[in-house]
Chains A and B, each alone.
Chain A
């Protein structure tokens, strides 16, 4: 078990450019989550997948943001036409569905991708 991995760890881009981040969850984890964390704040939920289906999206996820998990394994988060306000740490987490209705899963986080938009 190598844990959740994210790539790249750091990304510096100019305003208006597109960026894409990748997340590899813990193997056999069927749920995958994206969060955004700005300085001095806790992580804020963006979206989550169960297998390849995107089941919930936050209002924070504007139409410039798109996330995919095409084969139910790794996931990508793309930001188009980046803005300075997009500068943040983008965290990915994964969990194993417990199979019980009404429960919640334990989420394990990756190291994050730190995005700086100049």
Chain B
């Protein structure tokens, strides 16, 4: 079993929809949770960074962490075709600097 599980998709939604992307994890010691966006053949771009449980909002993006369920989510409101990309979740332990990534979910927003 992988430490971080993520549905690879693809997930197709119409423009303007609310998108929900999720990851589950097995290591309860993870403390830091990140979401990256990766366009085809490009490097990952940081979207959200959260510590421990709770919600964090930045523009159209909201990240949620539920440590009791070992489940994190990224919500995208008013999705746009330009949001079409692979979304990677990543996690790390306190005091360590390597990130553990999920496999990524491929999102397609249809115009």
Query: CB-defined interface of A89-118 with B at 8 Å, one 1/0 digit per residue?
Result: 001000100000111111111111010000
B98 contacts A42, C-beta separation under 8 Å:
no
The smallest C-beta distance from A11 to any residue of chain B, in angstroms, reads 14
B43 contacts A110, C-beta separation under 8 Å:
yes
Q: Is A43 an interface residue (CB 8 A)?
A: yes
**Of all chain A residues, which has the CB nearest B8?**
A40
A48–B6 Cα distance when bound, in Å, is 25
Query: CB-defined interface of B77-105 with A at 8 Å, one 1/0 digit per residue?
Result: 00000000000101011111111111110
Query: CB-defined interface of A66-109 with B at 8 Å, one 1/0 digit per residue?
Result: 00000000000000000000000001000100000111111111
Q: Is A45 an interface residue (CB 8 A)?
A: yes
Which range contains the number of B residues in contact with the other chain? 20 to 34
Partner of A109, one of B36, B92, B94, B100: B36
A56–B96 Cα distance when bound, in Å, is 10
A83–B45 Cα distance when bound, in Å, is 29
Which range contains the number of A residues in contact with the other chain? 20 to 34
A101 contacts B95, C-beta separation under 8 Å:
yes
Instruction: Tell me which residues across on chain B come within 8 A of A105, comparing CB atoms.
Output: 97
A1–B93 Cα distance when bound, in Å, is 28
Instruction: Tell me which residues across on chain A come within 8 A of B94, comparing CB atoms.
Output: 102-104
Instruction: Tell me which residues across on chain A come within 8 A of B45, comparing CB atoms.
Output: 109
**Of all chain A residues, which has the CB nearest B88?**
A42
Partner of A106, one of B4, B6, B42, B49: B49
Q: Is B60 an interface residue (CB 8 A)?
A: no
Known interface pairs A107-B46, A112-B42; A42-B97 also in contact (CB < 8 Å): no
A91 contacts B101, C-beta separation under 8 Å:
no
Q: Is B54 an interface residue (CB 8 A)?
A: no
Q: Is A28 an interface residue (CB 8 A)?
A: no
Q: A interface vs B, CB < 8 Å?
A: 4, 6, 31, 33, 35, 40-45, 48, 55-56, 58, 91, 95, 101-112, 114
Apart from the given pairs A4-B43, A40-B8, 6 other A-B contacts in the complex at a CB distance below 8 Å? A6-B43, A40-B103, A41-B104, A42-B4, A48-B98, A109-B44
